[in-house]
Amino acid sequence: MNILLIGSGGREHTFSWKMSQSPLCTQLFIAPGNAGTAQHGTNLPLDIANFEAVKTIILERDIKMVVVGPEAPLVQGIYDFIENDTALNGVMVIGPAKSGAILEGSKAFSKAFMAEYGIPTAGYQEFSLAELEAGMNYIDTQTPPIVLKADGLAAGKGVLIINDREEAKVALKKMLEGQFGAASSKVVIEEFLDGIEFSVFTLTDGKDYKILPIAKDYKRIGEGDTGLNTGGMGCVSPVPFVDAELMKKVEERIIKPTIKGIQARGMTYKGFVFFGIIRVKNEPFVIEYNCRMGDPETEVVFPRLKNDLVKLMTAMSNGELSNQTIEIDERSATAVFLVSGGYPEKYEKGKEIRNLDQVKNTLVFHAGTKAVDNKIVTNGGRVIALTALGDTMEAALAISNQNATIIDFDGKNYRTDIGFDLV
């Protein structure tokens, strides 16, 4: 069958790499894609918010499966759009309907959902602008740091962690007055959890679930986890401190009740559930849900997945996930991200990427890259993820780190300490 993958990051390059290995995949189209996805299929220009344009591609290219990488089209209802159009009958969409994507699309919704199904998460209250005073009074009752979360999608910038109550009140007011547009017309204020985070991924067809390899990403720009937040500087899978006992707690207390809640509420969900988990004194709590795979987590999770991904996703779409068995490569996978100088603040694009053909024993997943005049140039802050597999995390990291010295572009920056807190 012909497949359309929506998105353009390292996650999507990894999806395209994995899906193109499947005998079930005839032609793969990626919209808009990047220079990496073009190695595995045909890139098509697309504004991913334009569902009519998606429809045109589906019809013109005889697409039978649409795989949605990022959250925004899911939260905006791309599943429902395709499902409700008779001209698109029988087209599978990988990702939840709007009714499921709201788990990521509204923090207030997800907090109420977790409360209803007894899923461990930080204590919270939500406030609108009309309740500003109550919000400020609530901050007075909290011990800093104060965690403020815009209710809706804010391009990963909607969470503020503030050490001072008065500053938090000013920030609350700013958010409610529209700092993140409609996304912060409601704000969740929640208890700060002090612990270590990791990412858990499941596939679900709305009834059953399958657990994929877990991962941990490194979000800060600087060595030792310092400096500004980024879209991810590196990643490891598995995560050494997440043992069978902790994973059992995650499954029993978090995954099972979430899938039960999805089913009980009649949410349509044929896609990935990404649980952002924090471990506090060996107990797991949900920090957030995402309705998609993670980035850069996908770059280490899929290389460890032995299954045919297209077969798994087809089973998921048909409600037959229970027949599938997940097979995992026991080795460790690590990814080191090469980023543009200046990122996550101001940076330049269009720098030629050199030595791409010189890497050894490494998967090169493109994120912000573009082909121009037979050259590959940088086209974003996060440029390339270098994924290696090894018998130990240290062995894999040695390969990722070595190859990070080989690929080069003006201004290249990367962290040399991915996994530093796990050894």
Residues engaged in binding ligand GLY (CB under 6 A): 217, 232, 290, 294-295, 297
Please work out the total of residues on this chain that contact ligand AMP, with binding judged by CB under 6 A. Answer: 12
Least distance (Å) from ligand AMP to the CB of residue 7?
19
In the complex, minimum distance from the CB of residue 148 to ligand AMP, in angstroms, rounded to a whole number: 10
Cβ atoms < 10 Å from Cβ of 178:
12
**Out of 12, 71, 104, 190, the residue judged to bind ligand AMP by CB under 6 A:** 190
Nearer to ligand AMP, 286 or 396 (CB): 286
DSSP state of 213: P
Q: Is 341 in the site for ligand AMP (CB under 6 A)?
A: no
- Contact (Cβ atoms closer than 8 angstroms) between residue 350 and residue 373: no
DSSP single-letter state for residue 310: H
- Cβ atoms of 175 and 156 within 8 Å: the answer is no
Contact 35, 371 (CB under 8 A): yes
| Alpha-carbon span 24 to 30, nearest angstrom | 16
Tokens representing 364?
């090169």
Q: With respect to ligand AMP, which residue has the nearer C-beta, 288 or 295?
A: 288
The region of 7-15, 32-40, 187-195, 410-418 touching ligand AMP under the rule CB under 6 A is: 187-195
Residue 215 is a binding residue for ligand AMP (CB under 6 A): no
Query: Is 125 a binder of ligand AMP (CB under 6 A)?
Result: no
144, 240, 261, 276: which one binds ligand AMP (CB under 6 A): 276
Distance CA 339, CA 346 (A): 12
Tokens of 255: 């995954």
> 147, 333, 336, 388: which one contacts ligand AMP (CB under 6 A)?
147
Q: How far is the CB of 101 from ligand GLY (least distance, A)?
A: 14
- Dump the DSSP string for 40-91: TSEE----TT-HHHHHHHHHHTTEEEEEE-SHHHHHTTHHHHHHT-GGGTT-
Instruction: Provide the β-strand partners of residue 2.
Output: 63
- 287 belongs to the binding site for ligand AMP (CB under 6 A): yes
85, 197, 225, 417: which one binds ligand AMP (CB under 6 A)? 197
Binding site residues, ligand AMP, CB under 6 A = 122, 147, 149, 159, 190-193, 197, 276, 287-288
